[in-house]
Amino acid sequence: MTNKLFCFGMGFSARLVADQLAADGWQVAGTTRTAEKAKRLAQQGFEAFLFGDDQPIEDIRSALKDVTHVLISVPPGGDGDPVIHHHGADLAALPEGTWIGYLSTTGVYGDRNGGNVTEDDELMPSGKRGRRRVAAEKAWFDLGRRHGLCVQSFRLAGIYGPGRNALETVQSGRARRIVKPGQVFSRIHVHDIAQTVLASIKQPNCGAAYNVCDDDAAPPQDVIAHACGLLGVDPPAEQDFASATLSPMAASFFEDNKRVINTRIKDELGVKLRYRDYQAGLLALYDQLRTKNTANEGHEE
């Protein structure tokens, strides 16, 4: 029997997992919020369904027919997890042992004043989004225990990759170097998210949570400076966090200061990070950018 993945949310991270499994011969279906995106997904060979916070899937039986694996990348809202709210009962009816992966965030740990956090540490979210994630994780694990589903949570650090990275930020003129003494962030390249999820699919550990990050938590201003160095441009002047004008969303990211430890994905899943730190990740992205620009120049000629 052919394996079938259903993605609630075919976004930046889930789409890469979907692409790789489709290339391996899996059937893949998933959701998006707009008819335009659904049409585009269908043109790319994916069975697409409309879904949103206030929009359950109309034909859920068809959507989940023959599904063997489910990946959830839809964030929780004020009313909780929308997938469980609308389709928890439908997922509960899937065959026992069905693999369910939930893409969570390291925000579930809250602020640790720059200290280390592992999956065994208590969840102490400091903001509204983190509290929602903790509640959503609990709801998914509870669903798995009650109905014999193999639920795993992937706690993602700050995601970057093609089209979403510090090089793009610098080139767009939006780069800032905000300095908060002692502040570090953990990051993860989208390709390493995909390989971690795929490793879990191959050797599932029901009920497990995994920190998905690289080996080098680093100050945000250093990442921007490194991107500027690769591009050969002067970095923007440093700005003190205390006096910088930031949106509430941007400021909220500085509430948490921690170093996320990724030992479990290496020991349990055998993950060997493709990009162990932001320097390696940005260099690869820079090489891709340079290759693309060279190809475009040749095409123009």
Work out the pLDDT band at 162, boundaries 50, 70, 90: very high
**For residue 136, pLDDT beyond 90:** yes
Predicted pLDDT of residue 2: 87
| Residue 266 located in a structural domain | yes
| Residue 234 located in a structural domain | no
Predicted pLDDT of residue 187: 98
Work out the pLDDT band at 292, boundaries 50, 70, 90: confident
CATH number at residue 112: 3.40.50.720
- Exposure letters 29-50 (e unless 16+ CB within 10 A, then b): bbbbeeeeebeebeeeebbbbe
Indicate the length of the chain as a whole number.
301
Tokens of 5: 């993945």
The neighbouring-strand residues paired with 151 are 100
Domain enclosing residue 71, as ranges: 4-160+187-213+260-275
| Residue 119 located in a structural domain | yes
**For residue 296, pLDDT beyond 90:** no
| Residue 297 located in a structural domain | no
Tokens of 172: 């767009």
* Amino acid letter, residue 298: G
Query: What average pLDDT does range 150-155 have in this prediction?
Result: 98
| Residue 253 located in a structural domain | no
Work out the pLDDT band at 186, boundaries 50, 70, 90: very high
**For residue 301, pLDDT beyond 90:** no
pLDDT digits (tens, 9 = 90+) for 217-261: 999 999 999 999 999 999 999 999 999 999 998 999 999 999 999
pLDDT digits (tens, 9 = 90+) for 13-33: 999 999 999 999 999 999 999
Q: 67, 70, 50, 47: which is closest to 58 by C-alpha?
A: 50
pLDDT digits (tens, 9 = 90+) for 188-221: 999 999 999 999 999 999 999 999 999 999 999 9
Helix, strand or coil, per DSSP, at residue 152: strand
| Residue 132 located in a structural domain | yes
pLDDT digits (tens, 9 = 90+) for 48-96: 999 999 999 999 999 999 999 999 999 999 999 999 999 999 999 999 9
Predicted pLDDT of residue 268: 97
Tell me if the pTM is above 0.85.
yes
Across all residues in the chain, what is the average pLDDT? 96
Q: How many domains does the chain have?
A: 1
| Residue 289 located in a structural domain | no
Tokens of 257: 């200061």
Q: 129, 28, 125: which is closest to 70 by C-alpha?
A: 28
Predicted pLDDT of residue 298: 59
Helix, strand or coil, per DSSP, at residue 165: coil
| Residue 244 located in a structural domain | no
Predicted pLDDT of residue 299: 55
